[in-house]
Amino acid sequence: MNHEKPIISLQNIKKSYLIGDTSYEALKGVSFDVFEGDFISIMGPSGSGKSTLMNIIGTLDVATKGKYFFNDLNITHYTEDELAQVRNEKIGFVFQSFNLIPRVSVYNNIERPMIYSNKITRSERRERVVSALKAVHLENKIDNMPNQLSGGQVQRVAIARSLVMNPEIILADEPTGNLDSKTSHDVMQFFQSLNQQGKTIILITHESDIAAYAKKSIILKDGFIVEEKSNSNNLG
């Protein structure tokens, strides 16, 4: 359901790093838009620039050149505090390594992003945790510790954690990288279900079978977009 104005608009994004005395250009002019309801996979081999691009989209890093608009606001030169606010309130993250805290419960792991917001009461935090766990069919695991869960369940808890701030974008970085094939496809079906409910998802992956779950794929190579294609027969 594309609207006139994109949630995210990247315009000629370039990113250079200084390695010793040599400048390395990881991104060489990347431009694309993300609209509400999109499910986009970003693919590319190692060194293609996809991790750099993910970090810029997620406001974990900033572009050397180019412009980044989020909801029509130019956040290209935001301060670190301003970028942190965008990260916390607008973007839900799901990582390959899950990033759960092993010594606290499922409830406390999912609640954690909300603790930094003074606007959310304790009772509302509880409601949001329960709702997020229901979305991934794990409401019966609310008091479990992460080491009491399977790999697929742990990743579903991480997905639930990404939902509790009601983000506008879910950014998933190789979310199936540590999972076996069957569990990977189970997790991707959860992402598809979330997208069908209206969530906007950007997926970073190097696996074509995982990328096929998205509606659209963007292929990076050597810091450029070399292909954009619709996945008309995306898996379900």
CATH number at residue 184: 3.40.50.300
Per-residue pLDDT reduced to its tens digit, 97-155: 778 899 999 999 999 989 877 788 999 999 999 999 998 889 999 999 999 999 889 88
The domain containing residue 110 runs over which residues? Answer: 8-230
pLDDT band, residue 177 (cuts 50/70/90)? confident
Sign of the dihedral through C-alpha 89, 92, 217, 12: positive
53 near 223, Cβ under 8 Å?
A: no
Compute how many other C-beta atoms are within 10 angstroms of the C-beta atom of residue 94. 25
106 near 144, Cβ under 8 Å?
A: yes
- Residue 235 is assigned to a structural domain of this protein: no
- Residue 236 is assigned to a structural domain of this protein: no
- Residue 172 is assigned to a structural domain of this protein: yes
- The yes-or-no verdict on residue 224 having pLDDT over 70 is yes
SS3 28: strand
pLDDT band, residue 234 (cuts 50/70/90)? low
- Residue 82 is assigned to a structural domain of this protein: yes
Q: Of 85, 87, 102, which is closest to residue 57 (Cα–Cα)? A: 87
Place of tokens 């992003």: 113
The predicted pLDDT at position 11 comes to 97
Structure tokens at 183: 């569990």
163 near 28, Cβ under 8 Å?
A: no
- Residue 3 is assigned to a structural domain of this protein: no
132 near 164, Cβ under 8 Å?
A: yes
